[in-house]
A and B are shown apart, each in its own frame.
Chain A
C-alpha cells in the first residue's frame, strides 16, 4: 500500500466513522475497513471504480463531490478523507468548507507544486512539470487548481481553519511540517498531508 495511505490510516482512531471522498478503487477504504473501522463509506465519480469498490464489499456512492457533498448532514462523520483530489475541483474552497462541515476531522493530502522537481521542470526545462505525483501532461491533466504545501498552509491560516497536524512525504519518508521548516518542506516534499478542523 502507498505510504500516504498508511499515514492516513494511522491517523484514524478505531471504530470511528469515515467518509472517503474520491475513494478511487477502494484500496485505502478496504485497508481501513479490514484493520481500523467498519464504519467507512466512499464517494467516487468513476463508474469503473465504483464497481471495483462494490466487488471489494465496500459501500460507495457514485457521485461528484462538488455537487453531492452538500447532501451529507453536518458532523455526520468522525473523519472525512480527501486524498490527492483537491486540485481537481472547480471550486476547492467550497469543497474544503463542505469537508469541514461534514467531518469532525478532515484529512486532506495534496501533491506539492512547490516540490523542487516541479520547480526545476518549469525553471530550467520551461515546460509544465511531469513528476511521479503529477504524471499528466498539461493538456490532459485533471488538475485545475494546483497548490503548494505553503499555499495550503496559508489558505488554512487565512480562513482560521484549525490545521492541527501537517506532515510531509518524500521518498516514502514522513516528517512534520512546522512554521520553522515550512519553506524547506515546501521545497523537498512530494506530498503534504494535513489534518484540519473547523
Chain B
C-alpha cells in the first residue's frame, strides 16, 4: 500500500490504551467529510465502515476511482442528505487507507509495521474515532450509523458514550460475533497465511504480496455477502463465454469468473495484514461479555433513540441476531424501532439500491432531526 499524501488525516496525540494492553499515541486517523457542519453543530453524523470499507463513503474514491461504498445512502437529497447533514467517516485503525495500521511506517525502523501491529478490537476502533468529535469541536453527534462491522461500531459507540449521539442506527449487524462468522473469518485468514508470499506477515520487507491468499479470502467472504436466491437468479449455471463446459478447471461458470474478478480487484486496494487484523477485531466483538451476557446492561444509561434494520436474505448477520439487540433495548425500555427489510440481495443489501431500506433510513433520520 502506498502512503496517501493527499488524504485528510489528524494525528491523535492523546494516548489510547488498547484492549490488548498496548498504548498507542501520536497515531494518524484518516477521515473524509461530506456536507457542512451547521452553526449549532447539531447536524453531525458519524458513519462507521465495514470490514473492507474506508473513509470514502460517498463521491469518488480517489484510490480506487470508484463510487464510495455508501453512495446510495450519502449525497444530496439521499437518505443521509448532505444538504442537511455533516457526515464524518474515518478509516478504522488497523485499516489501510491512511489510518494507523499494519501498513503504517514504523518511525524507528522506517519500515512497515506489518505483523508487529498490536491486535485491535472494535472498542479500540471506536475510541480512536471518538477523537474526531474534539477535532470538529462537536459536543454531541446527531446520529451514528453503519452496517455490518460498522453496525458493531455503532453499538460499541453508544455503549462507551451513552449520550454522545441523539440517534443510533445499527444495520445488519450483531452484538456478538457468531461462531459461523468467526469460522468464515478464520477461513479468510488461513487463506492469506497459507500463501507463501505472506512471509509470516513480513511480505512488504521482501517486496512480496500474498495476493493469491487475499484473493481467496475475498472470494469466500464475498459468497457470504450474497444470498442463495440472489446468486441463482444472477448466475444460475450460466457458462462464461463458452457454449459448453471444457472439462478442466478454468472458470467455466459465470459465478467462478465473477468471484475470481472480485478477488483480483480486491488485492489492488487492500492490505492482507489489515484483513487479518480487522477480521480478528470482529471475532473478538462480544458486547455483553463484561456484563455476563446481559446486553441490556450495556445500554442501561443511554437516552439514545435506536433504529435497527436487518434484511430478510442476510444469513451472515440474520434478523434473529439483530432482534437480540431490539430485545435487549426493550428490556430496559429504551426508545427503539426495528424493521426487517425484504431483499434478495443478502448481507450486501445495506450497500445496494434497496428502496425499502433507503426510504426507511431517510424517513427515520429526517423525522428524528426535526424533533
Contact = CB atoms under 8 A, between A and B. Distances in A.
B39 interface: no
Nearest to A70: B327
A142 interface: no
B337 A60 contact: yes
Interface string A5-44: 0000000000001000000000000000000000001000
Interface stretch (A49-57, A81-89, A145-153): A49-57
Given A51-B356, A72-B330, A59 B339 contact: no
Contacts of A71: 326-327, 330-331
A62 B338 contact: yes
A54 B339 contact: yes
Interface string B297-340: 00000000101000000000000000000110011110111111
A92 interface: no
Nearest to A52: B363
A14 B85 CA distance: 33
A61 B360 contact: no
Contacts of A61: 326, 330, 336-338
A73 B338 contact: no
Given A57-B367, A57-B371, A59-B305, A51 B333 contact: no
Contacts of B360: 50-51, 54
B281 to A, nearest CB: 29
Contact of B363 (A55, A62, A76): A55
> Most chain-B CB neighbours within 10 Å: which of A17, A56, A62?
A62
B342 interface: yes
Contacts of B338: 60-63
A63 B339 CA distance: 9
A165 interface: no
A60 B337 CA distance: 5
Contacts of A56: 367
A181 B359 CA distance: 50
Interface in B334-371: 335-342, 356, 359-360, 363-364, 367-368, 370-371
Contact of A47 (B331, B342, B368, B370): B342
Contacts of A47: 339-342, 356
A55 B365 CA distance: 10
Given A47-B340, A59-B305, A73 B335 contact: no
A59 B341 CA distance: 16
Contacts of A59: 305, 307, 335-337
Nearest to B359: A51
Contacts of B331: 71-73
Contacts of A51: 339, 356, 359-360, 363
Interface in B82-122: none
Given A51-B356, A57-B370, A76 B340 contact: no
A97 B368 CA distance: 33
Contacts of B341: 47
Given A51-B360, A55-B363, A62 B340 contact: yes
Contacts of B332: 73
A57 B367 CA distance: 5
A54 B333 contact: no
B24 to A, nearest CB: 39
B363 to A, nearest CB: 5
A82 B115 CA distance: 58
A76 B336 CA distance: 14
B270 to A, nearest CB: 35
B339 A62 contact: yes
Contacts of B371: 57
Contacts of A55: 359, 363, 367
Given A71-B327, A72-B330, A54 B336 contact: no
A100 B330 CA distance: 17
B333 A73 contact: yes
Interface of B: 305, 307, 326-327, 330-333, 335-342, 356, 359-360, 363-364, 367-368, 370-371
Given A54-B367, A62-B339, A76-B333, 12 more contacts: A41-B335, A41-B337, A47-B340, A50-B339, A54-B337, A57-B370, A59-B305, A59-B307, A61-B336, A61-B338, A71-B330, A71-B331
Interface of A: 17, 41, 47, 50-51, 54-57, 59-63, 71-73, 76
4 nearest A-B residue pairs (beta carbon) = A57-B367, A71-B327, A61-B338, A59-B337
7 contacts: A17-B333, A51-B363, A54-B363, A55-B359, A59-B336, A61-B336, A72-B331
